[in-house]
Amino acid sequence: MNITIVGLGVIGGSYALALKPLKKYRLFAIDKDEDTLRKAEKLGIIEKGYSLEDNVEEVIKNSDIIIISIYPSLVKSFIENNKAYFAKGTVITDATGVKGLFAQEIIKILPDGVDFIFAHPMAGREKKGLDYASAEVFKGANFIITPIDNNAISNLKLIENLAYEMGFSNVKYLGLKEHDNIIAYTSQLPHVLAVSLINSEALNEDTGKCIGDSYRDLTRIANINAELWSELFLGNKENLLKNIYAFEHEMKTIKEALIRDDKASLEEIFKKSTSRREKL
Amino acid sequence: MNITIVGLGVIGGSYALALKPLKKYRLFAIDKDEDTLRKAEKLGIIEKGYSLEDNVEEVIKNSDIIIISIYPSLVKSFIENNKAYFAKGTVITDATGVKGLFAQEIIKILPDGVDFIFAHPMAGREKKGLDYASAEVFKGANFIITPIDNNAISNLKLIENLAYEMGFSNVKYLGLKEHDNIIAYTSQLPHVLAVSLINSEALNEDTGKCIGDSYRDLTRIANINAELWSELFLGNKENLLKNIYAFEHEMKTIKEALIRDDKASLEEIFKKSTSRREKL
């Protein structure tokens, strides 16, 4: 089976690293960066890489599965530009962090005979680029598939199976809207908090000497791919705002308890959070 | 040198575990829980444990250093109740997460000839009790000493040295007020965020299957000792509120950029957070 990875960045590279040792797939890649492709070939992560200047007709035509892991805004034009090359029966999948509007746009322009299985691996790293790719991040992680009406069951199973082969331990099926609603809470809101926390103070030398693990853990994801995450946030704006308001409402209960010197309420809030965290 | 640890919970127990292997200290403990003391003796973590029913005069009298790691509200009464027993030259230290008002109260009732070196190890675990104690959490962590006017330099050095011996890699000296101001940001605000995040949604089975490392990292400290942290929050209320307001102001810039569909501003905010995180 031939798999082509479009975008050999930190996520695309991690797919390649996770699939390579299985030895049952021939791996190819398309990327805008020549150096990345030559490096991946040299390391044996892929068999052959194609830049945007190369003729990609053949590699696309011969792909059984195409994994697209580029910025959300570029996915549509990649498909449009290469519309003529996809063979009937090709399965496309992606790694995009928002689904609703994004998927609707893609569905409209999808060539006949091509099945797009929208997916979202719930794992990643703060850094970008192939150098930070790692198969390890997928181990034990969650993988979400958001099926659409036209998806063939056999193709959904194919991508589900691929996820398990790469080391994911849970594959969850969700509707497009449902996905965006949940992800606004489990992924985007934490990024809002991390970014706002680290930006909210004049960090100085003293601050750095007074941090513990909690601060380190909470701000890890404040190191963020600005272009990607601004696209993801705006692509899920309503859900994210709704979740920010819900968070603000919760934080308000702590603020008010503090202002009232209300120890009992604080303890109740903490007991609730402890019990929720233990249930995770 | 004899060291007595008052309160053999997760922090007091970790002190004992970190000091024991050095073999230069004889370790004793005072705790309200008999089972904990017998367990610690059996495991060889301490030489002998004393419950509140025991006569603690001798163990206190013979202590060169007393490490108090009990709830902030209990420290004052422990000192008052045992006032008559401290030998001249005894060094007391603590592990309390707030210092300002707390230390002022203690200073007033401190017996003559006893030197209290206020300290705050910036490490810990979510769980409480000796079973979760570990010397590992101190390795490479930050240790803060908040000196007061009467502290002898030699005693400050003694506790500083103890911190390095236990594996801490930085010892930072801060004023009492300065400590509380910084800690409201580096420790208390992260706990407010973690608790509010996990409490702000109706968690269900789907949510649990859609979380990634970021959510897991951000909510780890939502598992929180309710009694201890409500004391710590209320003991540093003004600073904490100030830091919550600063955080809210930062989060507002993200909200407003979202509402305006302002990609450029979001990118700028993310670039700022990335650069700050990298400097940590």
Model confidence band, residue A53 (pLDDT cutoffs 50, 70, 90):
confident
Model confidence band, residue A124 (pLDDT cutoffs 50, 70, 90):
confident
Tokens at B121, concatenated: 């190890």
Per-residue pLDDT averaged across A175-189, rounded? 93
- How far apart CA A249 and CA B258 sit, in angstroms, is 19
Lowest mean pLDDT among A135-149, A207-221, B35-49, B50-64: A207-221
Torsion of CA A253, B120, B107, B244, to 10 degrees: -20
Label residue B129 left, alpha or beta by phi (over 0 means left) and psi (-120 to 50 means alpha): left
CA distance to partner chain B, nearest, from residue A87 (Å): 33
The pLDDT of residue B205: 67
The model's pLDDT over A105-119, given as tens digits with 9 standing for 90+, comes to 999 999 999 999 999
Task: Reply yes or no on whether the pLDDT at A184 is more than 80.
Answer: yes
Q: Kindly tell me the burial class for residue A180, based on how many C-beta atoms sit within 10 Å of its own C-beta (0-12, 13-18, 19 or more).
A: buried
Q: Judge: A182–B243 Cβ closer than 8 Å, yes or no.
A: no
- How far apart CA B128 and CA A278 sit, in angstroms, is 14
Residues A159 and A237 in one domain: no
Residues of chain A above pLDDT 90, percent:
85
CB A196 within 8 A of CB B106: no
Per-residue pLDDT averaged across B141-155, rounded? 95
The pLDDT of residue B245: 95
Q: Judge: B230–A267 Cβ closer than 8 Å, yes or no.
A: yes
Residues A135 and A206 in one domain: no
Domain containing A199 — which CATH number?
A: 1.10.3660.10
Beta bridge partners of residue B145, listed in sequence order:
B119, B173
Residues B100 and B55 in one domain: yes
Of B152, B174, B196, the last residue of a domain is B174
Residues B6 and B79 in one domain: yes
The pLDDT of residue A205: 67
- How far apart CA A193 and CA A218 sit, in angstroms, is 8
Residues B70 and B189 in one domain: no
Task: Reply yes or no on whether the pLDDT at B201 is more than 80.
Answer: no
- Chain A residue at shortest CA distance from B221: A214
The pLDDT of residue B203: 61
Beta bridge partners of residue A6, listed in sequence order:
A30, A68
Residues of chain B above pLDDT 70, percent:
99
Residues of chain B above pLDDT 90, percent:
85
**Closest alpha carbon to B132 in B256, B36, B49, B41:** B36
Torsion of CA A87, A12, A118, A123, to 10 degrees: 160
Count of domains in chain A? Answer: 2
| Cβ-Cβ contacts under 8 Å, B247 against chain A | 196-197, 200
Residues A15 and A94 in one domain: yes
Residues A77 and A205 in one domain: no
The pLDDT of residue A161: 97
Task: Reply yes or no on whether the pLDDT at B213 is more than 90.
Answer: no
- The CA–CA distances, whole Å, from A242 to A34, A59, A86, B63 equal 42, 43, 39, 57
The model's pLDDT over B166-196, given as tens digits with 9 standing for 90+, comes to 999 999 999 999 999 999 999 999 999 999 9
Task: Reply yes or no on whether the pLDDT at A102 is more than 80.
Answer: yes
CB A25 within 8 A of CB A50: no
Residues B130 and B261 in one domain: no
Q: Pairing between strand A2-6 and A65-68?
A: parallel
The model's pLDDT over A154-164, given as tens digits with 9 standing for 90+, comes to 999 999 999 99
CA angle B142, B145, B146 (to 5 degrees): 135
| Cβ-Cβ contacts under 8 Å, B274 against chain A | 222-224, 226
The more confidently predicted of residues A125 and B168 is B168
- How far apart CA B58 and CA B172 sit, in angstroms, is 33
Q: Exposed e or buried b for every residue in B171-180, given b needs 16+ CB within 10 A?
A: bbebebebbb
The pLDDT of residue A91: 98
ipTM of this predicted structure = 0.87
CB A79 within 8 A of CB A108: no
CB B205 within 8 A of CB A172: no
CB B251 within 8 A of CB A222: no
The pLDDT of residue B206: 76
Residues A183 and A170 in one domain: no
The model's pLDDT over A70-90, given as tens digits with 9 standing for 90+, comes to 999 899 999 999 999 999 999
Q: Judge: B210–A261 Cβ closer than 8 Å, yes or no.
A: no
Mutate to test the interface with B, among A145, A210, A228 (most CBs of B within 10 A): A210
Domain containing A29 — which CATH number?
A: 3.40.50.720
Q: In the 3-class helix/strand/coil scheme, how is chain A assigned residue by residue? A: CEEEEECCCHHHHHHHHHHHHHCCCEEEEECCCHHHHHHHHHCCCCCEEECCCCCCHHHHHCCCEEEECCCHHHHHHHHHHCHHHCCCCCEEEECCCCCHHHHHHHHHHCCCCCEEECEEEECCCCCCCHHHCCHHHHCCCEEEECCCCCCCHHHHHHHHHHHHHCCCCEEEECCHHHHHHHHHHHHHHHHHHHHHHHHCCCCCHHHHHCCCHHHHHHHHHHCCCHHHHHHHHHCCHHHHHHHHHHHHHHHHHHHHHHHCCCHHHHHHHHHHHHHHHHHC
Per-residue pLDDT averaged across B229-243, rounded? 95
The pLDDT of residue A101: 86
Per-residue pLDDT averaged across B231-259, rounded? 96
The model's pLDDT over B67-101, given as tens digits with 9 standing for 90+, comes to 999 999 899 999 999 999 999 999 999 999 999 88
Of B158, B174, B190, the last residue of a domain is B174
What is chain B written as a DSSP string?
-EEEEE--SHHHHHHHHHHGGG-SSEEEEE-S-HHHHHHHHHTTS-SEEE-TTS--HHHHHT-SEEEE-S-HHHHHHHHHHTGGGPPTT-EEEE--S--HHHHHHHHHHPPTT-EEEEEEEE---SS-SGGG--GGGGTT-EEEEE--TT--HHHHHHHHHHHHHTT--EEEE--HHHHHHHHIIIIIHHHHHHHHHHHSS---HHHHHT--HHHHHHHGGGS--HHHHHHHHHTTHHHHHHHHHHHHHHHHHHHHHHHTT-HHHHHHHHHHHHHHHHH-
Residues B94 and B201 in one domain: no
Task: Reply yes or no on whether the pLDDT at B198 is more than 90.
Answer: yes
The pLDDT of residue A58: 94
CB A148 within 8 A of CB A38: no
Of A133, A149, A174, the last residue of a domain is A174
Q: Judge: B266–A233 Cβ closer than 8 Å, yes or no.
A: yes
CA distance to partner chain A, nearest, from residue B36 (Å): 23
Task: Reply yes or no on whether the pLDDT at A141 is more than 70.
Answer: yes
Q: Mean pLDDT for chain B? A: 93
| Cβ-Cβ contacts under 8 Å, A203 against chain B | 276, 279-280
Residues A226 and A124 in one domain: no
Range of the domain at A272: 179-279
Residues B7 and B135 in one domain: yes
Task: Reply yes or no on whether the pLDDT at A204 is more than 70.
Answer: no
